[in-house]
Amino acid sequence: MINQIKTVLLLGVLSGIVLVIGKLLGGNVGLTIALVFAIIMNFGAYFFSHKIVLFMYKAKEAPKSKYPNLHEMVEEIAKEAKIPKPKVYIVPSENPNAFATGPGYKNSIVAVTEGIMGLLSKEELKGVIAHEIAHVKNRDMLISTIAATMATVIAYIANIAQFAAIFGGRNDEEGGNIISFLLMAILAPIAAMLIQLAISRSREYLADETGAKLIKNSKPLASALLKLESDGKNHPLKMGSTSTNHMWIVHPFRGQGGAFMKLFMTHPTTDERIKRLNALNF
């Protein structure tokens, strides 16, 4: 419940930033343009980005005849979550990982790498699948798309603000000046990025908790996360883009940073996730 409230509040702040800078930059016209632009980008990203991601990672639909246990696992947990069974995909990579995507319950997708299939026990893999189905159940694809789009809109408008400030934007009589424009152009994108990342981390905590509840056991996912973090450092993902970091169950490209770098991470630290999972009681 706490993570859900946190997500709503952070999305509200992002929305406020979009509206404020739109208003500052172009008055009511600028505000309208910002809103229209955000809606168009949201629509495109929400309905088509999953196809791009699957293509990017060369994911192929997993034949049920070849992966019967995986399909059975997905079907069982989806039934417990009261959602349609997602399609199952395999990513040809040694990096042990998984992600969920898709614009809705009826066309959702759970993808796992070849690396994770060979690393985890059946129960640990079940914990990971439960985490990914939790993302689908909690509509995290929609939430992350909205957050990412708002952050993109803010960065775009901030770039316009920089141009306007340098080359003669609004004057003092109109209520603006070069310094305020430049401060907005610099600080707004940073704030938006930090909020977007905070939303991503809160949704990971929520998916961990929801997934554990679906299988009525938090230990398998905690054990799986420890293995994924350790083995992932030896087998980093060698394709795709860091822009998709938030989709994977653990960071696929590098290890964790220091305390300051936690602000710029798409995921909470694995240690903290394991700690919270072990604190859950069923």
Residue 238: DSSP 8-state: -
Single out the catalytic residue among 132, 204, 209, 229: 132
What's the length of the chain?
282
Task: Determine whether 61 is an active site residue.
Answer: no
Distances (CA, A) of 45 to 134, 178, 196: 21, 34, 16
60's enclosing H/E stretch is strand 60-61
Residue 238 CB contacts under 8 Å (≥ 6 apart), including other chains: 93, 95
What residues are paired with 109 via a beta bridge? 87, 101
Backbone angles phi, psi at 140, to 5 degrees: -70, -25
Structure tokens at 35: 């809103």
Give 3-state DSSP helix, strand, coil % of the chain, rounded to 5: 70, 5, 25
Catalytic residues: 132
